[in-house]
Amino acid sequence: MFSQLSKRPWLIAVAISLLLVLWLISGSLFKAQETASADVETAEPGLSKVEIQWLQAEPMQRQHVVQGQVEAWRRVELRAQVSGSVTRLDQDKGSTVTKGQLLLSLSGDNRPAQVARGEADVRQRDADAKAAVRLRERNMVSANELIRLQSELAKARAELDLARIQMSNTQITAPFAGTYDQRLVELGDFVQPGQSLLTLVDISQLKVSAQIAQQEVTQLTLGQTVKIELLDGRELQGELHFIAAAADPDSRSFRIEVKVDNPKSLRLTGASATLHIQTGESLAHRISPALLSLDKAGRHGVKWVNEQQRVEFTPVQLISVDNQGAWVSGLPPKVALITLGQGFVEPGQQVISQLAKGGS
pLDDT (tens digit, 9 = 90+) per residue, 181-200? 999 999 999 999 999 999 99
pLDDT at position 360 is: 60
* HSE of 121, CA atoms in CB hemisphere, 13 A: 19
Quote the percentage of the chain above a pLDDT of 70. 87
Quote the percentage of the chain above a pLDDT of 90. 62
Helix axes 111-137, 143-168, angle to 10 degrees: 160
Whether the CB-CB separation of 339 and 53 falls below 8 Å is answered with yes
Please tell me whether the overall predicted TM-score, pTM, comes out greater than 0.85 for this model.
Answer: no
Beta-sheet strands, E only, within the chain? 48-56, 58-79, 84-89, 96-97, 102-106, 171-173, 178-183, 190-191, 196-213, 225-230, 235-243, 253-261, 272-287, 293-294, 300-305, 311-315, 317-321, 326-329, 334-340, 351-355
**What number does CATH give the domain 65-72+200-281?**
2.40.30.170
Q: Parse the chain into domains and list their residue ranges.
A: 49-60+282-355, 65-72+200-281, 109-168
**109-168: CATH class:** mainly alpha
pLDDT at 36 over 60: no
Whether the CB-CB separation of 219 and 329 falls below 8 Å is answered with no
pLDDT at position 2 is: 38
pLDDT at 212 over 50: yes
pLDDT at 256 over 70: yes
Q: Where are the alpha helices (DSSP H) in the chain?
A: 2-7, 9-42, 111-137, 143-168
Whether the CB-CB separation of 328 and 302 falls below 8 Å is answered with yes
Topology classification of domain 49-60+282-355: 2.40.420
| CA–CA distance, 86 with 107 (Å, rounded to integer) | 6
pLDDT at position 133 is: 92
